[in-house]
Amino acid sequence: MTSLLTPRDDYRGSGLVFPDGFTFGSATASYQIEGAAAEDGRTPSIWDTFSKTPGRVWNGDTGDVACDHYHRVDEDLDLMSDLGLEAYRFSIAWPRIVPAASGEVNQAGIDFYSRLVDGLLERGIRPVATLYHWDLPQYLEDAGGWTSRATTDAFERYAEIMGTALGDRVHTWTTLNEPWCSAYLGYGQGGHAPGRHEPASALSAVHHLNLAHGRALQALRATSTGDPDYSVTLNFHVLRGQGDGAAEAMRRIDALANRAFTGPMLRGEYPADLLEDTASVTDWGFVQDGDLATIAQPIDVLGVNYYSTATVRLWDGVSPKQQNDGHKGAAGGTAWPGSDQLVEFVEQPGPYTAMGWNIAPEGLEELLVSLSEQFPEQALMVTENGAAFEDEVAADGAVHDVERTDYLRRHFTAAHRAIERGVDLRGYFVWSLLDNFEWGYGYAKRFGIVRVDFDDLARTVKDSGLWYRELIRTRTVEG
């Protein structure tokens, strides 16, 4: 079939130069790469428990060893340097820092991240540290997890500890990564740790994560002696609608998935339509006086994670459902109670990545422009974008991941177009530096620009990594 796309629609830009000051980085997360799960005082997180529960993670995979980054940190730092990364976004494993309910601080955990930060700075790479990328200490989940307000007390204290330990050197602090996943996948849909199926708990988790974000920002600001930037990373739903009621379906999911976080964090209020839509699930009685002011701390940069779009339609709860993609469908999805009708996530046109997610670079441009219109004063940073594909190792040992390079090229083109349209976009972090533990998919899905052989843990820079190195060197997107 002849393509109807014009070269501009194709998003395969060439000769696009990124402005000076634009930061090129790559990202990982603690549980996905570190391993050393029971070493140097670390205790289990909810992901250790979840991955060891039969049937929860593909193939029974766990993060016990992962990429063994904990022991190979120097090699990985050299790899980042060889790629020319200007910044590295990593997360800190809370159960390495405060391993027990007693609250005692584990110096070995702090030392590990301190060494990582120093190693980055020695190589001229800016450290971008996330406090929470889903590895909640199990002892906190046992006491209620994110449904308990006490978890926000513990998070504030953890933020104080990290601000004191690293706040002289970290370039950017990020409080939370994708609280949407923590709340809705963890407590509502159950596909992520701790695996609970409780709609009211999911909304209470939304609020406590928002509150934890605000309290952590206060604690980080009070303890950091350097001049860091402060941020949070959200994964936005870029929505398309289908059928009668498309606009209503999109409005509902936008409220649940996007505005439930941007409302309190950036405007100091929960959207009225969100409260109405969810009235049959909760009365939001867990929101206390003063919480919204605490949550709405200023941030220097808003982290944006983007992979694909999502298509929704109203569903009567009776007729056969269309495909409901596990990742995208869980924000409200077919199981979400509300008014008289549910919202269903439906199949989208391809092409797809190995995750089954549609490749839609125009969604990234649209999202960045839309956020900059909604929050004109807010600088933005793409803190995650990338793709899983079925990589193969060629006879010469190389990984010719043409599809991933093409995906990245199209999304960098989208980011560049957003900048041309006036968006204050400060940088872009490719997900991920390394193939790693992809949550419920275990090691079956590879997102890295560096291959990890999970038998001998050897690292091989893929062709996409070489392409990215050239982009960073020249600051220019080429074919």
| Residue 393 Cβ vs ligand IFM, minimum distance, rounded to whole Å | 22
Asked if residue 431 binds ligand IFM (CB under 6 A), the reply is yes
At its nearest, how many Å lie between ligand IFM and the CB of residue 154?
A: 22
Give the per-residue contact string, 137-176, with ligand IFM (x = CB under 6 A; - = no). ----------------------------------------
**Shortest distance (Å) from residue 468 CB to ligand IFM:** 17
- Shortest distance, CB of residue 470 to ligand IFM, whole angstroms? 24
- CB nearer to ligand IFM: pick between 295 and 387: 387
* Choice between 161 and 209, CB closer to ligand IFM: 209
- The interface with ligand IFM within residues 189-248 (CB under 6 A) comprises none
Nearer to ligand IFM, 56 or 251 (CB): 56
Total residues in contact with ligand IFM, by rule CB under 6 A: 8
To ligand IFM, the closest distance from the beta carbon of 72 in angstroms equals 19
Q: Which residue is nearest to ligand IFM (CB)?
A: 29
Asked if 438 is part of the footprint of ligand IFM (rule: CB under 6 A), the reply reads yes
Upper half-sphere CA count for residue 44 (Cβ side, 13 Å) = 14
Q: Rounded to a whole number, what is the distance in angstroms from the first to the last CA of the chain?
A: 23
Minimum gap (Å) between residue 357 Cβ and ligand IFM: 9
The binding track of 366-395 with respect to ligand IFM, each residue x by CB under 6 A or -, is ------------------x-----------
- Residues with a catalytic annotation lie at 178, 384
As measured in angstroms, the least distance from the Cβ of 178 to ligand IFM is: 6
Cα–Cα distance for residue pair 126/64, rounded to 1 Å: 28
CB of 431 or CB of 443, closer to ligand IFM = 431
- Strands 309-315 and 238-241, how do they pair? parallel
Contact string (CB under 6 A) for ligand IFM, positions 47-86, x = contact: ----------------------------------------
- Which C-beta is closer to ligand IFM: that of 242 or that of 383? 383
Q: Which is nearer to ligand IFM, 13 or 363 (CB)?
A: 363
Q: Which residue, 351 or 422, has its beta carbon nearer to ligand IFM? A: 351
**CA atoms within 13 Å, Cβ hemisphere of 183:** 30
Encoding tokens for residue 362? 């125009």
Q: Please, what is the minimum distance in Å from the beta carbon of residue 361 to ligand IFM? A: 17
* Residue 325 contacts ligand IFM per CB under 6 A: no
Say if residues 79 and 88 touch (Cβ distance below 8 Å).
no
- The residue within the footprint of ligand IFM, chosen from 305, 348, 358, 413 (CB under 6 A), is 305
The position carrying tokens 């392409």 is 467
Integer Cα distance of 450 and 465 in angstroms: 6
The full 3-state SS of the chain, as one line of letters, equals CCCCCCHHHHCCCCCEECCCCCEEEEECCHHHHCCCCCCCCCCCEHHHHHHCCCCCCHHHCCCCCCCCCCCCHHHHHHHHHHHCCCEEEEECCHHHHCCCCCCCCCHHHHHHHHHHHHHHHHCCCEEEEEEECCCCEHHHHHCCHHHCCHHHHHHHHHHHHHHHHHCCCCCEEEEEECHHHHHHHHHHHCCCCCCCCCHHHHHHHHHHHHHHHHHHHHHHHHHCCCCCEEEEEEECCEEEECCCCHHHHHHHHHHHHHHHHHHHHHHCCCCHHHHHHCCCCCCCCCCCCCHHHHHCCCCCEEEEECCCEEEEEEECCCCCCCCCCCCHHHHCCCCCCCCCCEEEEECCCCCECCCCCECCHHHHHHHHHHHHHHCCCCEEEEEEECCCCCCCCCCCCCCCCHHHHHHHHHHHHHHHHHHHCCCCEEEEEEECCECCCCHHHCCCCCCCCEEECCCCCCEEECHHHHHHHHHHHHCEECC
CB of 432 to ligand IFM, least distance (A): 7
Which is closer to ligand IFM, CB of 270 or CB of 443?
Answer: 443
Q: Site map for ligand IFM, 177-196, x if CB under 6 A?
A: -x------------------
Residues 78, 86: Cα–Cα separation, whole Å: 13
Measured from the CB atom, is 384 or 406 closer to ligand IFM? 384
Binding site for ligand IFM (CB under 6 A): 29, 32, 178, 305, 384, 431, 438, 447
